[in-house]
Amino acid sequence: MSFAPVLVFFLGGIGLVAAALIAAWVIAPSNPGKLKNSTYECGEEPVGSPWVRFNTRFYVVALIFLVFDVEVLFLYPWAINLRQLGMYAWVDMAVFILILAVGLAYVWGKGDLEWIRPKHASAGSVGGKDGIN
Amino acid sequence: MTWLDLLIAVACVAGVLGFISVVALVAIWTERKISAHIHDRLGPMETGGFHGWAQTIADMVKLLQKEDIIPDAADKPLFKLAPYIVLSATIASFVVLPFGAHLIGTDLNIGIYYLVAISSLEVAGILMAGWASNNKWALFGGMRSASQMISFEIPIGLSLLIPIMIVGSLSMQDLVGAQAGGFWNWGVFSHLPFAMIAFIVYFWASLAEVNRTPFDLPEGESELVAGFHVEYSGMRFAMFFLAEFANMFLVAGVAVALFLGGWHAPFSFLEISAESNVILHNLVGFFWFASKGMVLLFIQQWLRWTLPRLRVDQLMHVCWKIFLPFSFVNVLIVSLWIVLTQS
């Protein structure tokens, strides 16, 4: 068991991309032009910059993800040692999952799991209604 | 680490790269043929003679000759960096995939954990590509990809926990080894029906992870043109495409290794024991692993041409309100089962 092959595989992936791009650089033509290098929008002139304010939904999703991803992180070592730890650890983890389930129920009840937030959701909800999706 | 180990690692990565290229070439061709036959048409028929088998090779040669266009408005360093991150994360995930008893890059003791962690690095590359293109469609596609991939990572992590709990190890070869001796020993059939529920959740969530239909909103051709890689052309685009097909096989390979017996045959008399011939043992194992992976790949493609695309709110509904509670209850039940039967 060694981690060195992981590095070799990483470098292999980078090498593959580099080799393909070098091959394309040798073979492919290069005639850049003003129109060719303009932003593609099906032939329309792009209006404004695409780097605009974004729908806060994505931010809320990232926050919820973070909470549950960390939880999954804690579950892995517990799962490996489940047999040795026995009932005590199971009850422990059940309580932990229950606490997070309450959190999920809260977010669910607030309407933050809906992509289009329901109108009746209270003003204290996490997501806004600005921006675009 | 000696020079010999380094040589073996380089041979492994060369083997994996060759395997991925062949899988991508075959899978792109089957995708076109399957879609054509499901649509009641023929698909590519000319290139190479027999049913257009050389179509993908011709496409690769064509892509190699295409001009590499980087838009003036793009954030150039990030634009160039993105394909490196996406593909190297994908290739690095293959290091723990057990193709056979000895055909594995390295059997890390945290194998599956490493795989889940490293394959999510791809999200960074996709977000980078979408942002750096400075294109509205690319940005929408990148944001949707990222939110979808991180959302479905949680059901994936939880459903992979089921075989891990049953076996009690994170090493890929341990997980495969526990499923030896016939298909009734496979992970999907242990602790019925809970491991099967985990398998189904994993398979559907992995479709979202690789942005396949019915979860292909990030690439919705009819609304976002192509999503995060709309500004990429030529070889750079080909690298994203290769990464997508490599990922399809990767998630299928994880499903095979954890739930469908890995490199074990459905019946043990179809295997050759390691004592009689190590090389044949590995080759037969590789055959079974690759075949099972290809079957799952076929199902992925079949679903693509059968199901319509979900809406973004339906996507969130499926992930957070169906998969997540199901997975949590599943984990609790299976762990209780294990604890109770142990003592």
* pLDDT (0 to 100) of residue B291: 92
- The arithmetic mean of pLDDT across residues A40-69, rounded, is 79
Residue B201 CB coordination number (10 Å): 23
Distance CA B253, CA A117 (A): 38
pLDDT mean across residues, chain A? 80
Name the more confident of B63 and A124: B63
Q: Give domain limits for chain B.
A: 66-342
* pLDDT (0 to 100) of residue B1: 65
Cα torsion for B159, B165, B171, B174, to the nearest 10°?
A: -120
Distance CA B122, CA B247 (A): 10
* pLDDT (0 to 100) of residue B343: 61
A29, two tokens: 């033509």
* pLDDT (0 to 100) of residue A132: 45
* pLDDT (0 to 100) of residue A119: 59
pLDDT for residue A47 is more than 80? no
Phi, psi of A54 (to 5 degrees): -115, 160
Nearest to B158 by CA among A89, A90, A97: A97
Q: How many CB pairs under 8 A join A and B?
A: 225
Q: How far is A119 from chain B (nearest CA, A)?
A: 15
Distance CA B218, CA B140 (A): 7
Asked whether B72 and A37 are in contact (CB, 8 A), the reply is yes
% of chain A residues with pLDDT over 70: 86
- Pick among B123, B136, B143, B224 to test the A interface (most A CBs inside 10 A): B136
Nearest to A16 by CA among B331, B111, B87: B87
DSSP secondary structure string, B287-312? HHHHHHHHHHHHHHHHHHTTSPPPPH
Phi, psi of A132 (to 5 degrees): -125, 160
- Write the ipTM: 0.85
Element (DSSP H or E) covering residue B194: helix B194-209
Q: How far is B40 from chain A (nearest CA, A)?
A: 30
- The arithmetic mean of pLDDT across residues A53-63, rounded, is 80
* pLDDT (0 to 100) of residue B296: 92
CB contact under 8 A, B135 and A50: yes
pLDDT for residue A77 is more than 50? yes
pLDDT for residue A120 is more than 60? no
* pLDDT (0 to 100) of residue B144: 83
Contacts for B280 with CB less than 8 Å, ≥ 6 apart? B272
* pLDDT (0 to 100) of residue A91: 92
* pLDDT (0 to 100) of residue B8: 83
Mean pLDDT per block of 10 residues along chain B (343 residues) reads 81 88 89 88 82 85 86 86 91 90 84 88 89 84 85 90 90 88 84 88 89 74 75 87 89 92 84 81 89 91 86 82 90 90 75
Nearest to B71 among A37, A83, A113 (CB): A37
Contacts for B107 with CB less than 8 Å, ≥ 6 apart? A1, B96, B98, B171, B172, B173
Q: What is this structure's pTM?
A: 0.88
Query: B15: number of CA atoms within 13 Å, CB side?
Result: 17
pLDDT for residue A133 is more than 70? no
* pLDDT (0 to 100) of residue A130: 45
Q: How far is A111 from chain B (nearest CA, A)?
A: 11
Nearest to A37 among B12, B72, B89 (CB): B72
Distance CA B124, CA B130 (A): 10
* pLDDT (0 to 100) of residue A131: 43
pLDDT for residue A128 is more than 50? no
Contacts for A96 with CB less than 8 Å, ≥ 6 apart? A71, A74
